[in-house]
Amino acid sequence: MIVKKVIVTGSNGLIGSEVVAYFNHLGWQVFGADNNMRRDFFGEKGDTRWNQHRLETLCRNFTHHELDIRDRSGVMNFVQQVEPDLIVHAAAQPSHDLAAKRPFDDFDVNAGGTLNLLEATRQHAPQAVFVQMSTNKVYGDRPNSISLVEKDTRWDYADPAYANGIDESFSIDQSKHSLFGVSKTAADVMVQEYGRYFGMRTCCLRGGCLTGPNHSGVELHGFLSYLIRCNVEEREYTIYGYKGKQVRDNIHAYDVARCIEMFYENPQSGAVFNLGGGRDNSISILEAFDRVSQLTGKPMRYHYVDEARVGDHICYISDLSNLQRSLPGWGITKTLDDIFDEIVTSWRQRLLESVYK
């Protein structure tokens, strides 16, 4: 029996760790690549070693490799040695604010690291399927040009053309992206180009709010995880602009992993998909406050800053139609209730573990 092999970059992170566990369960050999740079980016609270140790304990088919994706020769040697059937590229610098402070690190990780992996794949595993975890920030702030209506607890699209959300035909041009958005757009377009120019089997998954219980949420990245963490730990949360009515659609990391498996089974060259929770899993900050407070019994402590983050979306909901047409049988299995329950349980457990260390 031939065992399939998958490389997962950013394997300590939210999506990476979910993909590791998912393909480990399927019996694949899983090779993780991570150097815990999230701790360098976000400090001790962004440390992901706990997740690495969890995977090493629970996943018998998983091997961790300490690798910085900016290391071109290291990446080349890694791919050559593994000869993977699938590469899931989930490693990234994920913060708008941090990108402005550390632009070279941001671009070198997001754009340069992606190019290193693509070229290593082309040279040493050209038949592998390559999945890039992209972002809806490739659209910059253009979603804010859509006509909106203000409701009691959220902003929503006034234009019925966007009733199901934003699809992949939405322009990435003539908009402010933030430096993070630019580096991720460069990576996104490069993944498409390797698919179209070299005939490789690649796709970009333009994620909305990717979430789940294994997220090391911090203020600069990980909206829902961080919001819930603040409530559980009775810390103050800061709302930046838009009256706290800004909307995101949330997708559980498990449904992302399912999507990746289905793309592996039905690959294309240079595919692009918007991937989020869709309208049913959309929620505003104010609505999230109410939902988490009902679960924990704790009031949400927060203060409001009347200034939005650069490039921040007022309302973003992913139109999943193209994805569901291309990958029939895929759909959202984790509801908002499931997501909130799991994240609350996870942060409570981590809080207890920190108290009794």
Segment 175-213, tens digit of pLDDT: 999 999 999 999 999 999 999 999 999 999 999 899 999
- The whole-number average pLDDT for the span 292-312 is 93
- Predicted confidence at residue 355, as pLDDT, reads 57
| Cβ 284 vs Cβ 133: under 8 Å | no
- Predicted confidence at residue 158, as pLDDT, reads 98
Hey, CA dihedral for 69, 71, 74, 79, is it positive or negative? Answer: positive
Confidence band, pLDDT 50/70/90 cuts, at residue 226: very high
Structurally, how many domains does the chain consist of? 1
- Predicted confidence at residue 261, as pLDDT, reads 98
| Cβ 102 vs Cβ 144: under 8 Å | no
Confidence band, pLDDT 50/70/90 cuts, at residue 1: confident
- The whole-number average pLDDT for the span 204-233 is 88
Gap between the Cα atoms of 127 and 73, Å rounded: 21
Tokens 């304990």 appear where? 57
The lowest-confidence range among 124-138, 157-171, 299-313, 332-346 is 299-313
Domain that holds residue 210: 5-355
- The whole-number average pLDDT for the span 215-232 is 84
Confidence band, pLDDT 50/70/90 cuts, at residue 34: very high
- The whole-number average pLDDT for the span 15-39 is 96
- The whole-number average pLDDT for the span 122-138 is 98
**What is the pTM for the complete model shown?**
0.94
Q: Return the amino acid letter for 76.
A: M
- The whole-number average pLDDT for the span 58-66 is 98
- The whole-number average pLDDT for the span 48-56 is 94
- What tokens does 42 get? 């976000």
Mean of pLDDT over the chain: 95
Pick left, alpha or beta for residue 212 (phi over 0 → left; psi -120 to 50 → alpha; otherwise beta).
Answer: left
- The whole-number average pLDDT for the span 300-329 is 94
pLDDT of 167 over the 90 cut: yes
Query: CA angle at residue 52 from 76 to 98, to 5 degrees?
Result: 75
- Predicted confidence at residue 207, as pLDDT, reads 95
pLDDT of 357 over the 70 cut: no
The SS3 assignment for 344 reads helix
- Quick one: how far is CA 325 from the chain centroid? 22
Gap between the Cα atoms of 28 and 295, Å rounded: 37
- Predicted confidence at residue 223, as pLDDT, reads 85
Q: What is the CATH number of the domain that holds 211?
A: 3.40.50.720
